[in-house]
Amino acid sequence: MSLTVLRQPVEAHPAARQAREAATAAADRAGVTVIEESDREKLRDIEGLLVSIWGTSPHGAPVPFDILRAISHAGCNISAAYLPDGTLCGAAVAIVTPGDAATYSFIAGVAPGVADKGVGFALKQHQRAWSLDRGIETMTWTFDPLVSRNARFNLSKLGAHVDEYERNFYGLMEDEINANDESDRLVAVWPLSSQESIDCSEGRPTDVELPEPGAATVLKDGPDGGPQLMDANGTLWCRAPRDIVALRSADPEQAALWRSTMRESFETAFAAGYHADAVTRTGWYRLSRQQAAR
């Protein structure tokens, strides 16, 4: 008589179950269903959604259908968010770096009208769960340092950090959002299983506030005449413009000045051993000398 022993499946990563549960909860709060999409016609819809968000450039769609199809076929990540009526309302696309060292998320977007409902957060949590299910502990991506809303989402809402600045990463950007501006980028590193990332995934981010007036020394002013870089007891605070997309249209010259100003601030700080780990609601990055791995 033989005895059959039933074993529980081994998780690829200890945090994988928590990530799946957090991703499901985030999608429920946003009122969407988020899935890994591979259907050919749905991938065409994703191409159309990305065009509706970014517009087109001389190169065409932000991510053409054939590239989406190839990414899906290669077993990489395409996350899609759907409203209860089946309408596509968001998508995120990621590939895996050599050696499965990290997931590289290179585009994510949400349809106009639902951007403040938590759909973007749900997409990132789905990507986090997808990665941890495959034993991948880190996700990286780049973002425009001048877009303070995205910066706050990436650092304060997700738990990523930054210590690398890339000048003109893509060359001149000719789509409707970037308006022929240079494409400087910060490189976000998201430790998917850190306690901070777990807390953020469950809706418990740590909010940060700018030091009280008089508690910080102004090191540099911004193009608008207000403080842009401050030091408060060894912690740096670096301000981004409130709405760079509108500023690019209204005053391209000042927008370009913001680019060069923030480029200098970040490159100098990173060279001195700082990293950015949070952003206030008013668009101030916090840069500290703490270890980047959190």
Q: pLDDT at residue 115 above 90?
A: no
Cα–Cα distance, 122 to 31 (Å, whole number): 10
Domain boundaries in the chain? 16-201, 217-288
pLDDT band at 171 (very low <50, low <70, confident <90, very high): confident
Question: What count of other Cβ atoms lies within 10 Å of the Cβ of residue 289?
Answer: 12
3-state SS record for 56-123 = CECCECCCCHHHHHHHHHCCCEEEEEECCCCCEEEEEEEEECHHHCCEEEEEEEECCCCCCCCHHHHH
* The CATH number, out of the four listed (3.40.640.10, 3.30.70.3270, 3.40.630.30, 3.40.50.2300), of the domain defined by the range 16-201: 3.40.630.30
Q: pLDDT at residue 11 above 50?
A: yes
Per-residue pLDDT tens digits for 214-229: 899 999 999 999 999 9
In the prediction, which pLDDT does 59 show? Answer: 74
Closest by CA position to 124, among listed 95, 98, 157: 157
Q: pLDDT at residue 5 above 50?
A: no
Cα–Cα distance, 199 to 222 (Å, whole number): 34
In the prediction, which pLDDT does 100 show? Answer: 87
Answer for the pair 268, 163: CB distance below 8 angstroms, yes or no: no
Answer for the pair 276, 287: CB distance below 8 angstroms, yes or no: yes
Contacts of 195 (CB under 8 A, 6+ apart): none
Q: Does the model's pTM come out above 0.85? A: yes
Answer for the pair 104, 97: CB distance below 8 angstroms, yes or no: yes
Cα-flanking dihedrals φ and ψ of residue 188, to 5°? -85, 140
In the prediction, which pLDDT does 181 show? Answer: 72
What is the percent of the chain where pLDDT is above 90? 80
Q: pLDDT at residue 293 above 50?
A: no
In the prediction, which pLDDT does 114 show? Answer: 86
pLDDT band at 49 (very low <50, low <70, confident <90, very high): very high
* Highest mean pLDDT (candidates 8-12, 122-126, 174-178): 122-126
| Structure-model confidence comparison of residues 53 and 4, the more confident one | 53
Mean pLDDT confidence for 183-209: 96
pLDDT band at 12 (very low <50, low <70, confident <90, very high): confident
In this structure, the strands spanning 227-232 and 217-221 are antiparallel
Return the minimum-mean-pLDDT range out of 53-62, 126-135, 192-201, 237-246.
Answer: 53-62
Degrees, nearest 5: CA angle 111-281-223: 95
Mean pLDDT confidence for 168-174: 80
215 burial level (CB within 10 Å; 0-12, 13-18, 19+): exposed
pLDDT band at 291 (very low <50, low <70, confident <90, very high): low
Cα-flanking dihedrals φ and ψ of residue 268, to 5°? -65, -45
In the prediction, which pLDDT does 173 show? Answer: 64
Q: pLDDT at residue 117 above 80?
A: yes
In the prediction, which pLDDT does 176 show? Answer: 55
In the prediction, which pLDDT does 56 show? Answer: 76
In the prediction, which pLDDT does 6 show? Answer: 43
What is the percent of the chain where pLDDT is above 70? 92
Q: pLDDT at residue 272 above 70?
A: yes
